[in-house]
């Protein structure tokens, strides 16, 4: 593969699908005009609202979102990740689903978030994702692309579970997506260091789209969508406002780091 530009988009999504998709399209357009060919949208990019409302509107959100992703990928001739949106299941709940779409509008890879955010943190807000979301039961599969390398998918809270990324790196991953809606409280201490850790220990590029700002009620996210290289160097950081983090993914750099630090070859415990 040749070097290419990747983009991690940063949004402030609301309980309004139309406004969110309009915002997403503006950011996709911006990323494309800056040369990006591989673009990631954050978790909950299409809808960020109360859990019960999300369940009641799940089919509508799912249908609109998937159509949007296919349309945008075709219109702009890019490969596009929808970083996490609700897809209804028979139980009346949803899967938090990441979907990778190619320039022809076809599905390339799908991942259903495995680790659910059931956490009571001291920010005045209790998170209980499992009340509405059914966890995925399959490890993510790599998408092997001649243009972009071997791509692995994950979503937000997954970043705290290194075994998932070790599985991906063992199967050959070179680029790892972590679309997220990290809380403002945890993000200030953990977001950057976790992204860098996953990059370093797996000698992979990390593309981490993010939510930022206040979405509804007291729900606030950290921002700082970023792209990190296999040495852990932050190549781009979107800061705290909606926008785009864009950087080069360079296969030469990947090979160099893996020669200098061949830790993947030194694994003792599989």
Q: Is 99 helix (H, G, I), strand (E, B) or coil?
A: strand
Asked about 204 being catalytic, the answer comes back as no
From the candidates 54, 66, 112, 156, which is the catalytic residue? 156
Closest CA to 234 of 188, 191, 265, 184: 191
- Provide CB contacts within 8 A for 119, sequence distance 6+: 127
Closest CA to 177 of 76, 26, 41: 41
User: Cβ(17)–Cβ(61) under 8 Å?
Assistant: yes
Asked about 43 being catalytic, the answer comes back as yes
| Gap between the Cα atoms of 55 and 246, Å rounded | 33
From the candidates 43, 66, 112, 174, which is the catalytic residue? 43
| Gap between the Cα atoms of 195 and 236, Å rounded | 12
User: Cβ(154)–Cβ(176) under 8 Å?
Assistant: yes
H-state helical runs in 39-152: 51-56, 58-76
Up-side HSE of residue 33: CA atoms within 13 Å toward CB?
Answer: 7
From the candidates 66, 112, 113, 174, which is the catalytic residue? 113
Asked about 113 being catalytic, the answer comes back as yes
DSSP 207-227: EE-EEEEEEETTEEEE---EE
* Token pair listed for 111: 């991942």
Distance (Å) of CA 252 to CA 2, 95, 197, 259: 9, 37, 21, 11
Closest CA to 209 of 182, 238, 179: 179
| Gap between the Cα atoms of 209 and 245, Å rounded | 8
Residue positions annotated with a catalytic role = 43, 113, 156
């Amino acid at each position: 593969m040749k070097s290419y530009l990747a983009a991690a988009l940063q949004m402030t999504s609301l309980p309004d699908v139309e406004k969110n998709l309009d915002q997403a399209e503006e950011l996709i357009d911006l990323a494309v005009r800056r040369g990006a060919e591989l673009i990631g949208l954050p978790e909950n990019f299409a809808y960020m609202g109360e859990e019960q409302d999300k369940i009641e509107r799940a089919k509508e959100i799912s249908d609109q979102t998937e159509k949007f992703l296919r349309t945008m990928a075709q219109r702009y001739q890019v490969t596009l990740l929808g970083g996490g949106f609700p897809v209804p299941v028979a139980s009346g709940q949803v899967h938090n689903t990441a979907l990778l779409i190619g320039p022809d509008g076809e599905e390339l890879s799908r991942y259903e978030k495995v680790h659910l955010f059931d956490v009571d943190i001291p920010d005045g807000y209790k998170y209980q994702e499992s009340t509405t979301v059914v966890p995925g039961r399959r490890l993510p599969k790599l998408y092997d692309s001649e243009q972009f390398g071997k791509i692995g998918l994950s979503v937000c809270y997954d970043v705290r579970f290194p075994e998932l990324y070790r599985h991906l790196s063992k199967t050959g991953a070179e680029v790892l997506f972590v679309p997220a809606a990290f809380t403002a409280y945890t993000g200030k201490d953990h977001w950057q260091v976790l992204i860098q850790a996953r990059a370093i220990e797996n000698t992979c590029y990390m593309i981490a789209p993010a939510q930022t700002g206040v979405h509804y009620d007291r729900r606030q996210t950290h921002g700082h969508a970023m792209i990190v290289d296999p040495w852990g160097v932050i190549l781009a950081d979107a800061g705290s406002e909606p926008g785009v983090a864009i950087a080069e993914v360079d296969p030469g750099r990947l090979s160099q780091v893996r020669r200098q630090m061949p830790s993947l070859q030194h694994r003792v415990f599989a």
